Amino acid sequence: MVTDPVLLQTAADLFPNGISRYAVGGLLVGLGTVLIYIGTGIPAGASTFLESTLSYVSDQSRFQQYVGSRDWRLVFTAGIILGGLAFAATFQSGLVTSSLYEPGTTGQLYEVAGVTLWMTEVQPWRLFLGGILVGIGTRIGKGCTSGHGVCGVGSASKTSLVGVVTFLTVAIGTAQVVAALGVSP
């Protein structure tokens, strides 16, 4: 056991919400990926959904190459949304409590039909502009945090490791600059 008060204080500063909610959540994200992989052999990433879904409305060759996978990618995304809702209906609503779970203090909570829902306070222009760059970047860069970060790193892919280091470094720099400019939230 770590009992050094200085070490404990440092840990509390670096991890104000502990690490269990992150580690357990990560294990579940991995478990979802593994379930799909065991049954289908597909290492599923989340961002190809953007292009594959555009194939329903656009004839561009870039989107049409995903016609074969667009249906299951839609199902995958519907599952992710429902999984988020299941979390809201259980832990976020206080229906289920666990020592492994630290509730957050960010954003705004509101209730609909007995379910505690959550809304961000990050400004819409940041979400929209950031979203555009995420849409462009993940498609040029062949993956996002789940494709490169989870499946690619899990595959020990050098391409994905380089991709993750690139986007993590740039994202940290960007967030620090944006915060230094006084933009909040």
Partner 1 sequence: MSDRHPLFKPLIFVGGIVFGFGLGFSHMARPEVVLNFLQFDDLGLPFVMFGAAIVSGIAFALLPRIRDAAPLTGDPYERRLKPFDRNVLVGGAVFGVGWGLSGICPGAAYASLGVGNITILWALAGMFLGAYAQGYWRSRSQARDTAATGAD
Interacting residues with partner 1 between 8 and 27 (CB under 8 A) = 14-19, 21-27
The answer for residues whose C-beta is within 8 angstroms of residue 148's C-beta and 6 or more apart is 45, 141, 142, 157, 159, 160, 163, 164, 167
> What DSSP state is assigned to residue 12?
H
Handedness of CA 162, 168, 171, 173 (dihedral sign): negative
> What DSSP state is assigned to residue 90?
I
Cα gap 125→12, rounded to integer Å? 33
Cα gap 65→69, rounded to integer Å? 9
Query: 3-class DSSP state for residue 111?
Result: strand
The distance of closest approach from Cβ of residue 2 to partner 1 in the complex, given in angstroms and rounded to an integer, is 16
Q: Does 171 bind partner 1 (CB under 8 A)?
A: yes
Residues 87-116 that bind partner 1 (CB under 8 A): 87-88, 91-92, 101, 104, 106-107, 110, 112, 115
Q: Does 182 bind partner 1 (CB under 8 A)?
A: no
The distance of closest approach from Cβ of residue 181 to partner 1 in the complex, given in angstroms and rounded to an integer, is 11
The distance of closest approach from Cβ of residue 123 to partner 1 in the complex, given in angstroms and rounded to an integer, is 9
Cα gap 73→77, rounded to integer Å? 6
Using CB under 8 A, pick the residue from 7, 8, 95, 162 that binds partner 1. Answer: 162
The distance of closest approach from Cβ of residue 154 to partner 1 in the complex, given in angstroms and rounded to an integer, is 4
Q: Does 147 bind partner 1 (CB under 8 A)?
A: yes
Residues 22-81 that bind partner 1 (CB under 8 A): 22-47, 49-51, 53-54, 58, 60-63, 68, 71-72, 75-81
Residue tagged 């391409």 (tokens): 159
Contact call for residues 10 and 35 (beta carbons, < 8 A): no
Q: Does 7 bind partner 1 (CB under 8 A)?
A: no
- Total residues binding partner 1 (CB under 8 A): 128
Residues 114-143 that bind partner 1 (CB under 8 A): 115, 117-122, 124, 126-143
The distance of closest approach from Cβ of residue 99 to partner 1 in the complex, given in angstroms and rounded to an integer, is 14
